[in-house]
Amino acid sequence: MQSRNYGLVTAITMITGIVIGSGIFFKADNILEYANGNVYLGIIIFVVAAIAVVFGALTISQLAIRTDKPGGLVSYAEDFVGTGAATMFGWFETFLYLPTLDALVAWASGIYISQLLGFQDFSVGRNTIIGLIVVTVFYIMNALSAKAGGFFQNASMFIKLIPLILIAVLGLVFGNPGPVLSGASGDAFRESAKDLAWLGAFGPIAFSYDGWIVSTSICHEIKNSKRNLPLALTFAPIAVLIIYLAYFLGLTSYLGADQVLALGDDSVFTAAVSLFGQFGAKLILVAVVISILGTVNGVSLGLIRLPYSLALRNMMPLSESFKKENEKLGGMPVNSAFLVYGLTIFYSIVNYLIMTSGNEFVAGLDISEIAICVLYLIYIALYVAVIKLAKKGEIKNKFLGYVAPVLATIGSLIIFSGSVVKLSFAVYAAVCLTFLGIAYAYYKKHKDEIVVKTDEDFHAETDKA
């Protein structure tokens, strides 16, 4: 059985490192845009999303501490919802959610690498090509050496905080937060919130907070996890919220909301040049690039083994092929890696086509928003499972068994509402439903072949390895 090496403080820093990624750097202007330039409204949206994440993480932690199986969503669904749900969740995560996330973050790395190389113009094509190169490098690195990928992930966790903290602190010190927060006045706030367009901000907000569900999978490495995991999953999102709000306020206080909206993804570099000069700004940009590359690496690292995990359960076609491990590469499931690499390349191309399309139904849509908000609806099935455990008396704490899952459900519905108000909702809802429908059809046809693995099965496989 896996040893438990991490205390509460380490668990908090690990979860914080998983959640803080690339989104805040290139989504801050999108959040401000949906909030009609009202920073105060943007702050409220940040806080509401954080509450959804805190209660969601607390709720799912009640499932995480009751199973020793790896696999995150798939394992929780398998043990507490049903094999059919596990198949659907696994397909959604493997074939849509994570590869689209990987593709978008790789594309975003192209934005800041272009700035680092001195390109002045914004080019979707150039960013896509750079993203494809980045994805290829990280898949090769992780396929050849899991240790190399893990080392880069740990290093990037600390580096990513540098630009966030510097811009937050110096932006507030040398900026002017007074006018920025003037939007809190009744008339200004009502004017900004009078229509429901601001709900669209929950899409980029969800992207910025994304990764918290992955953190529940470290449960079995935490000492006294029944106590420490819920505490860590409470404090870590609050720490992320404080860092994000400080950065958001620092950036908008220093540049002004109007300039952040006008500059878009160039806001970080512009603020850094003004604060630190050209050379200092380049160093800040290096930290931003490393942070985003760390996210690409982390998603790729986790994604590689997802088809393998499904194949071990016979939950996907050609399972015998995808469960094969290459002993020369330390047991790496090479076929699984090739599959998700191909998916990421495919979605990178789709992202390019969407961003260069003039079609009104996909205008302003990036590839991540196809799945990320719908994922919050999927979480609700797990929240209901926790309530059922509480009804059975398996969860004694009323707050964790009833209050937390109800609040998490409300939070999920609020975040999902951010996708409903967009014209493109019909497009990505259809895509998501198609994937879930195909997965369910596969389950119905092959349910007699699906292997339900117990905790003991996984322990035996680990001991054998």
Residues 6+ apart with CB under 8 A from 123: 114
Among residues of the chain, what percentage have pLDDT more than 70? 82
Look up residue 105 and give its two tokens: 């973050």
Interval 101-113: pLDDT, tens: 889 889 989 988 9
| Whether pLDDT at 423 is above 80 | no
Interval 177-213: pLDDT, tens: 776 666 555 665 666 666 667 777 787 777 777 777 7
Q: What's the pLDDT at 215?
A: 64
Q: What's the pLDDT at 465?
A: 44
Among residues of the chain, what percentage have pLDDT more than 90? 20
| Whether pLDDT at 228 is above 50 | yes
Question: What mean pLDDT is predicted for residues 59-75?
Answer: 78
Helix axis angle for 372-391 and 202-209, nearest 10°, is 70
- Distance, CA of 174 to CA of 172 (rounded, Å): 6
Interval 237-267: pLDDT, tens: 888 888 888 988 899 889 888 888 888 878 8
**Of 147-151, 220-224, 248-252, which has the strongest mean pLDDT?**
248-252
The pair phi, psi for residue 394, each rounded to 5°, is -75, -25
Q: What's the pLDDT at 219?
A: 62
- Distance, CA of 374 to CA of 381 (rounded, Å): 12
Question: What mean pLDDT is predicted for residues 288-300?
Answer: 82
Q: Picking from 10-24, 67-81, 265-279, which range would have the lowest pLDDT averaged per residue?
A: 10-24
- Under the banding of pLDDT at 50, 70 and 90, the label for residue 91 is very high
- Distance, CA of 7 to CA of 228 (rounded, Å): 7
Q: What is the pTM of this model?
A: 0.82
What domains sit in the chain, N to C, each tagged with a CATH number? 8-464 (1.20.1740.10)
| Whether pLDDT at 127 is above 70 | yes
> How high is the mean pLDDT of the chain?
81
Nearest alpha-carbon partner for 304 in 157, 154, 139, 109: 139
Q: What's the pLDDT at 302?
A: 76
Q: Picking from 229-233, 338-342, 349-353, which range would have the lowest pLDDT averaged per residue?
A: 229-233
Residue 29 near residue 248, CB atoms below 8 Å: no
Q: Tell me the chain's radius of gyration from C-alpha atoms.
A: 22
Greater pLDDT, 166 or 358: 166
268-304 per-residue burial string, b: 16 or more CB within 10 A, e: under 16: bbbbbbebbeeeebbebbebbbbbbbbbbbbbbbbbb
